[in-house]
Amino acid sequence: MKSDDCCGGSCGNCCCGSNKKEAVNEGIANVQKRGSRIVAEGIHMLPAASLMIAAGVIEKISDRKKPFVTVINSYTTQIPGHAHLNVLGEKMVTALKAKGYNVWYANIGGAVDDGIAMGHFGMKYSLPSRELITDQIETIIGAHPCDAWVGIGNCDKIVPGMLNAMVRIDIPAIYLSGGPMLAGQNGTDLITVFEGVGKHASGKMTENELEKLAGSACQTCGSCAGMFTANSMNCLAEAIGLALPGNGSIPAARWTNKEKTEWEVNPERVDLVEKVATAIDFVLKNDIRPSDIVTQESLDNAFILDLAMGGSTNTVLHTLALAREAGIEYELNRLNELSAVTPNVCKVSPSRPDVHVEDVHRVGGIAAILKAIHVDGRAPLNLDLQTCTGSLEDYVMNAPDPDGDVIRTGENAFTQTGGLAILYGNIAPEGGVVKTAGVDKDMMQFTGTAKCYDSQEDALKAILKGEVIDGNVVVIRYEGPKGGPGMQEMLSPTSALKGRGIRSALITDGRFSGGTRGLCIGHISPEAASGGTIAIIKDGDVIEIDAEKRTMNVQISDKEIEERKKKLPVFIPKIKRGWLGRYAQHVLSANTGAVMDNT
C-alpha cells in the first residue's frame, strides 16, 4: 500500500507506479492508494465487517487487519477451457488463505465460447464481451476494494478482458490460465472439425465420418489444443510478465487412460496455483503493479514471441487494446519492424496441424521459444524487464535448447522473418493483419478477382454452394467493430475454403479465429461502415496481394475510388438497442485494438 500523501495515480505522474495513465475515476485511484483499508478500517465500516463474517471471508472483526486478495474466476461449463476452473479457483482460495490473506472469491459472467458462438448471430457478442469482462472486474474491485487480485481465465476474450482490467485497476495482480486442451484422436483438434465441414460440402467426407471426427477431436478440458487465440494470449501473458512461467503451455488435463479417453485435471497445472499464491506474496511485498510490468518494451517482447511462434492475428487486436488501456502509444507498423528481425522458430496447429501446444510444453514451453530468439540475437528481446516473479531472464536462460523439430533455429527456422504481418495499401490505408506462418509459400503473392459479400453468412453460403472458385479474392465487409457489430471471426468461411481445396484469398474488415490458415487478411482499416475502401470494391475488380512486400491494393485509380466512395449510402447500424447497440455507438477501429471511445 502507498503512503498517505500519495494520490494513487489520479495525477497520472506519481510515486505509486500508476504513472502510465490517470486512474479511470477517483474510486479506483483510492483503491490504488489504500486498497482494502477503504472497507476494513474505521468504526463506520463495521457494518461491512459484519457482512464479511456472514460471507465467510473473515471469522472475527480483528481479521480486518489482514490484507485482502480477490480471486476472480470465469468458471462455466459453456466453455471447455473453463469447465475445470472451479477446481483451480477453490485451490487458489485455499492456497491464499493458508498464507494468511482474507480472500474474496467472485465469478464473472459474459464469457463466450467462440467455437460455439461461431456460425450464428451469437458470434457478434464475442469481441464485445472483452469490454464487459473488464468492466465487471472494475465493478467488483471498485465496489469491494482489495490489496491484490488473481484473475483465472483461459479462452477467447476472457484473457484480454482480464489483462486489460489489470492495467486499468493497477493494483498488484496476477493472471492464471486453465491451460491448453490435449489433442484429440489421431492428432486432431477443433480446426480439423471445422475444415471437415468444408470437406463434407465438397463430397470429400461423409456425414458419418464428420460426426465421428467431431466426437473425437476435443476430449478433455482446456483451451483448444492449437496455437489459436486463447493459447496465444495465454502465452503472451507470460512474455509480458503478468503470468507465471508455464501459464501458456502446461496442459489443462493429463490422460489416466487414453484408450478409454479418461483424464484428470493436470497436477502440474494445480501446482501452478500454489506458485501463483507465492507470487502474490512477491508482488504485494514489493508493490509491483501492472503498470510496472506493461511497458513499451514488454509489449515488444510479447509481439516478438507472437511473431516467433506464429500466433493468432487476434493477439494484435488484444495487445493493442492492452497498450491503449495502459496509456501506451503503440504503432501498428511496429509489428513489421519486429517481424523483419524475428525468425518464425515454431509452428503449431493450425499452421502445422500435427503439432499442438502440449508439444511446445514438452520441449521447454515459451521459455524455450524466447531462448531461441535471444540466441538468434536480432530481435530486441529484453530479458531484464520486471515480471510478476522477477525477470524473464530468471527462467528463459535456464530453458532447454531448441529441439530442432518443434522449435527450430538458424537456417532451420521456418522463416527468417516473423509469422505475422501488417499489410497496407489502398484497401487498408490504416492496415490489415495476416498470419504469414499459416500461408503457403506459393500464396504469398496472389492476384485475383473480387467476389464481394456484405456479411459472413452470405459468403459462407456462396462458398459451400461452390460459387467461389480458384483465383477469387473473397471480400467480406460490414463485419468490422461497428459494421458487424462485434467483428465476427471468419473461421467458418476460411475453413470451408480450405476444406474444399479452393485456391483463393479472403480479405475482411472482420477478424479471424486463431485457427484460420491460408491467405486471409483481417482487421482491414478503415472498415466498410466507416467508409473504408473495402466498401467500394465490386465483383470482378482485380486485387493484388503481396504478403512479402506487405501490400494489398485493388487495381483501380484513386479517382475511381473517390467517385465510388461519393456514391456510398450512409451506413445505418444493423443493431441499435441493447448491449450490442451501445457497443456499436462507442467502439473504435480495429487498428486501435477495437477499444471503446472512452478507453
Catalytic residues: 513
The Cα–Cα gap between 391 and 202 comes to 51
The DSSP-derived string for 415-472 is: BSS-S-EEEBSSS-TT-EEE-GGGS-GGGSEEEEEEEEESSHHHHHHHHHTT---TTE
Strand partners, 243: 175
Give the cell for residue 482.
461497428
Residue partners of 184: CB distance under 8 A and separation at least 6? 192, 216, 217, 218, 219, 225
Instruction: Count Cα neighbours of 209 within 13 Å in the Cβ-side half-sphere.
Output: 12
Give the cell for residue 337.
519492424
Closest listed residue to residue 308, CA positions, set 225, 387, 414:
414
The Cα–Cα gap between 290 and 98 comes to 25
Residue 327 DSSP SS3: coil
Report whether 199 contacts 304 (CB < 8 A).
Answer: no
The DSSP-derived string for 255-312 is: EEEGGGTEEEE-HHHHHHHHHHHHHHHHHHHTT--HHHH--HHHHHHHHHHHHHHT--
Single-letter residue type at 195? E
Report whether 187 contacts 353 (CB < 8 A).
Answer: yes
The Cα–Cα gap between 339 and 307 comes to 6
Burial 573-594 (b: 16+ CB within 10 A, else e): ebbeeebbebbbeebbbbbbbb
Report whether 328 contacts 20 (CB < 8 A).
Answer: yes
Residue partners of 173: CB distance under 8 A and separation at least 6? 148, 149, 150, 151, 166, 242, 283, 289, 290
